[in-house]
Amino acid sequence: MKRISMYDTTLRDGSQGEGVNFSLMDKLQIAERLDALGIDFIEGGYPLSNPKDSEFFAEIQKIRLRHAQVCAFGMTRRRDCHPKDDVGMKALVDANTPVVTIVGKTWDLHVTEVLRVDLAENIAMIKDSLGYIRQQGRRAFYDAEHFFDGLKHNREYALSTIRAAEEAGAEVIILCDTNGGSLPEWIAEAVDLARKTVSAEIGFHGHNDGDLATANSLMAVQHGANQIQGTINGIGERCGNTDLIAVIGNLSLKMGFDVLPPENLCHLTEVSRFVYETANLSLRSGQPYVGASAFAHKGGMHVHAIERNVETYEHIDPARVGNSRRVLLSELAGKSNVLALGKGKYELGSEQASRVLTQIQDLEHQGYQFEAAGASFELLVRKEIGLYERFFETIHYRVNVEHDGSDQTPVCEATLKLRIGESIEHVVGEGDGPVNALDAALRKALESAFPILREMSLVDYKVRVVNSRAGTAARVRVTIESRDEHDVWGTVGVHENIIDASWQALVASFEYKLLKDQSLAAGSDRARPAFVGSDAGKGT
């Protein structure tokens, strides 16, 4: 089984993505996760570019990595300057990493227009820089920047740059599709040509401007590349870099290459989400292999088929990469979806499932959506099969927002009257906004009778206009996400009045908490929801 090494540049190239900013601690924690996953090389940054990168190289030496080697990244020496006198080269050596990656110009356009040096001087800069790194006892990798564009415009010169890198001692020559516009066929031709030109190992570094970074990486491997550079989740400048998650999945599970220790593949989803959370980025639900929707089934025909054989609509077992299968509810669902979601929790007959499906389709026509509201679906099913219990009844509620025209924050006050058994609770709650005030009033009314509600908190609130053409009279859909120490769940409400839509979702969330905990207290696990939509994969 051929070995393909993984070179991660999340901490350097990935941090150049819009909206990505890692702290020093973020970079150290990500490096530890990458090492535990089995990544071979971790590029920590350019030590001269900022104090944080320089400090990273000092701090990472205090951490005992089990597998990965840390790489410092930098440019060739400056023009007319010996490497030992070049401040950038000195910083690379002072980073004290076992591997140094030097990036140099391959495209003659960049040599003459960006560096403003002659072509021969650029060759000398490449040779001198890599030779100096080797003299310091470090492994030297060479990033041939713009290799594929340079090869198109001046083939002989582009090839002469990688020859120079090999002559100077480069262990791996990485061919970079820096502008990300190459097609797989050109990648194949160019890699073949590079392998005929040099005997050093070949790597590939791709960008995703043509949405082909993964395909180009796989093509490079098929034509002899031994190393792939990329980032976790493909984050990076412009359209991003090669997504190592997809590359690892394809190389390991589809093409039979030795990439990670086999027992570590099941941590791909975990590492992917850790990097998203650390970078404060939203998860990409449709991301192959690890996205929340990667193994989600919505069409009734699909669900019916996977109930018989999961291979009918899944290219791999999701557990192999640490992901999980999900069944979604919508107007496109079939009876199989409803039955699949109830399986193992409650007995749901065929006719009952049909009635539930009809209700789902009618409600979605009105603007409801249950993919991110698994708890609302659970309540609907319980009402259909007689397992629903009403813990409280709303008599009326009123919300006031007062503003005196000054710069002061408006005052929001909710008055609420509920019936709990034989008792009437009439309370007032205040909040930063009308929904916050309603939440405060509802808690005040219920917590004395149901103290377990103190464990519950609201963590997200989303509003979507359903029929925007109706203008200010349009219906709105409110989705609320709540959690306790065990679960995360979503509820939904729809109405022309945003306050009433919010109230529907809020009440459903409280009802669900009481129902599920009542079932658990009775010794049943049936109240544990088969979460759908945004409820999946959130630590349940």
pLDDT of residue 244: 98
Domain 392-449, second-level architecture: 2-Layer Sandwich (3.30)
Same CATH fold, 392-449 and 5-260? no
CB atoms within 10 A of CB 248: 27
The answer to whether residue 453 scores a pLDDT higher than 50 is: yes
- Select from 178, 179, 238 the least CA-distant residue to 205: 178
Yes or no: is domain 352-388+456-540 CATH 3.30.530.50? no
- Span 133-144, average pLDDT: 97
Q: What is the DSSP letter of 12?
A: T
What spatial distance separates the first Cα and last Cα of the chain, rounded to whole Å? 38
- Span 180-205, average pLDDT: 98
Domain boundaries, the chain: 5-260, 352-388+456-540, 392-449
Measured in whole angstroms, the distance separating CA 99 from the mean position of its chain's CA atoms is: 29
CB atoms within 10 A of CB 284: 18
- 417-426 pLDDT, tens digit per residue, is 999 988 999 9
In which order are the strands placed within the sheet that holds 423-431?
A: 393-402, 411-420, 423-431
pLDDT of residue 329: 52
The answer to whether residue 267 scores a pLDDT higher than 50 is: yes
CB atoms within 10 A of CB 55: 15
pLDDT of residue 340: 58
pLDDT of residue 432: 86
Pairing of strands 172-177, 5-8: unpaired
Portion of the chain with pLDDT greater than 90, in percent: 61
The pTM score is 0.70
Superfamily grouping for domain 5-260? Aldolase class I (3.20.20.70)
